Amino acid sequence: MAGSWFPRRLFLQGVAAAFMFAFASLYTQIPGLYGPDGILPARRTLRPQGKGRWQQLWETPTLLWEAPRLGLDTAQGLELLSLLATLLALGALLLRPLRHRLVYLLLWAAYLSACQVGQVFLYFQWDSLLLETGFLAVLVAPLRQPPHRKQAPQGGQTGASPHEGLPFWLVRWLLFRLMFASGVVKLTSHCPAWWGLTALTYHYETQCLPTPTAWLAHHLPVWLHKLSVVATFIIEIAVPPLFFAPIRRLRLAAFYSQVLLQVLIIITGNYNFFNLLTLVLTTSLLDDQHLAAEPSHGRPKKMPTSWPKALLAALSLLLELAIYGLLAFGTVHYFGLEVDWQQRTVLSRTTFTYHQFSQWLKTVTLPTIWLGVASLTWELLTALWRWTQVQGWLRKLCTAVQLSFFSTATVALFMISLVPYSYMEPGTHGRLWTGAHRLFGAVEHLQLANSYGLFRRMTGLGGRPEVVLEGSYDGHHWTEIEFMYKPGNVSRPPPVVAPHQPRLAWQMWFAALGPHTHSPWFTSLVLRLLQGQEPVIRLIQSQVDRYPFHKQPPTYVRAQRYKYWFSQPGEQGRWWRRQWVEEFFPPVSLGDPTLETLLRQFGLQDKSLPRARSSSSTVAQALHWVRTQLSHLEAPPLLWGLLVAVGAVRVVQALLAPRSLQSPPIKGGKHRPAPKKDSRATCAQATPALDSCNSHSRTPWREK
């Protein structure tokens, strides 16, 4: 059986990269979002309640409680935390010794700390996904790094601890929950666009931050859009059970289908680190053999000689072909696929009803849980068998302790995850063991397991709603305030900003879906613009001189709601078309009774705390100096620069890496025998180090 040493290494590197991008992106936005003059000052979120230190930390788990000890306010503490975590994640990405369990625990704790004060700007599903994945990385990472080698431990896991595959199995289970639930909620939401297979005719222009490629994808033929929706349902609903298939070729086929979906999303949309994180999860479907960690040295693969092995190989092939045939038949049958040879198109439609799908979901949800139980049981038995192969009573005792701990942790996390997973089917949720509910409730605030369901409903069926802010000095002549990332100027192409997430631009997209009273933070944004607060202005335009009111704040601010559509081919110089719909936010000025009433209604007039004073501590001065040095850089180039730097360092590392000690192959594909070594050295090398190699989202994904 192929090992998973290389996939685990890729997983740990990918998690480090996701943390690096997430923290670096957040750091650039902290003053405008959470500073004393930001939209939602972080100092309002942490108020001592007179409780004990440890009780307070457990109920609101954030390291930012310790910021005052360093002479920092909450926002400055968040800056320090983000900077240190970015550097730590960068180190884990580049340096093998830093891919340590303690490092990933610190990264997870730092991001959980940020989410405790992040309020609405950190309530996205990928923030919960990063927390859950980061905690799994704590278990997957080794406690001690084994000696450097170019090849993974071979098949029988000589040199591998028996428990190593258990935490990594949880990564596969998380990938299954993410994809299966994301596919199911599209149909349980009653969204007519998903049921009519027309969702992608709207998605490319109505998603939060499209890329220029989205304009091209939007103008593809409708029949191709509908066929793409069918493919999405197959990849997200029908394929995920294959993650646990005993035949590796089925798992690899599932892997490449998931990669294809994520790559297409990356090309057409700016979804920050989410797609990278999903690709990182897919490493759990790989093995060392597929990643050339167990090379065949150019020898042709031998056919099994004994009849039991030959029979097993034939049965595996038949099962594999049967599953592919079943997927093809189900796709054609349930989506009514027909080829129109005259029009050269493929026709498609849903041939099942909502009631039929609901009954199917009730039927399969519990079996998918039992599928997870069976797969986990196999992993536990495999780990137990490997433990029986351990030589030496002392090593056997140590590995028994490790195996017991990791088996218990894996089973506990699996049970916890069943609660948010079953949210998609209330009947199954109610039948879960009460112990699982109690266990989940005890750790819900740590976000060790969350529910998922991306793109639940398709918005903008009649045009993309967009809020446009305007400012004026006299209340008669209005000037639009253009954001650097979200659509505004119809002549400006959509930007490419991933892996950065401009969180204000994302919330502006959500705000446009309803009245401004559904987005209380918007009133605070208007107030900060009237005050001319530069940190908030930099969230809109990083170069302040591009902001139309950079010399003097506007006297009045208002907001209008528009409908946007992609321009048609042939419209030169235009990427968008738009039409005015209604007033979104009334014209207000400082001291306006309407503004004061809204601020009081939403609790944004925070007079209970004294205004934060600038700190003169050494740490605060260092933070100010770093912020000054980076203030002239926009966030996307900064993150791309980190990516380029990582690539350059990895190239240098590859060039300077020592050549393999293994003898090179000779003619005919054979290898020269390795020279004999001292028996004591051989025994020492053969004794490896004993390494331990939201709750559901707090706010639901409101529309998409």
What is the 3-state secondary structure of 261-295?
HHHHHHHHECCCCHHHHHHHHHHHHCCCCCCCCCC
Q: Does 10 reside within a domain?
A: no
Find the helix or strand (DSSP H, E) in which 328 lies. helix 307-334
Contact 636, 502 (CB under 8 A): no
**Omega before 192 within 30 of 0, i.e. cis:** no
- Backbone Cα Rg of the chain: 28
Q: Does 509 reside within a domain?
A: yes
Q: Does 34 reside within a domain?
A: no
pLDDT value of position 655 = 87
Q: Does 50 reside within a domain?
A: no
Domains of the chain: total:
1
Find the helix or strand (DSSP H, E) in which 598 lies. helix 593-601
Residue 429: closest CA among 415, 419, 443:
419
pLDDT value of position 304 = 63
Q: Does 90 reside within a domain?
A: no
pLDDT value of position 311 = 86
Q: Does 13 reside within a domain?
A: no
Rounded distance, CA 312 to CA 291, Å?
Answer: 24
Pairing of the two strands 479-481 and 338-340 = unpaired
Q: Does 252 reside within a domain?
A: no
pLDDT value of position 679 = 41
Contacts of 437 (CB under 8 A, 6+ apart): 419
pLDDT value of position 691 = 38
pLDDT value of position 302 = 60
pLDDT value of position 662 = 44
Rounded distance, CA 243 to CA 284, Å?
Answer: 9
For residue 535, the enclosing domain spans 464-607
User: Which stretches in the chain have pLDDT values below 70?
Assistant: 1-2, 145-160, 293-305, 606-616, 658-704
CA distances from 501 to 117, 208, 475, 486, 528 (A): 17, 11, 34, 11, 21
Residue 699: closest CA among 510, 561, 536:
510
Rounded distance, CA 693 to CA 97, Å?
Answer: 12
Give first-to-last CA distance, the chain, whole Å: 41
pLDDT value of position 626 = 93
Long-range CB contacts (< 8 A, 24+ apart) of 330-333? 330/238, 331/230, 331/234, 331/238
pLDDT value of position 614 = 53
Q: Does 700 reside within a domain?
A: no
Rounded distance, CA 452 to CA 440, Å?
Answer: 16
pTM: 0.90
Contact 565, 464 (CB under 8 A): yes
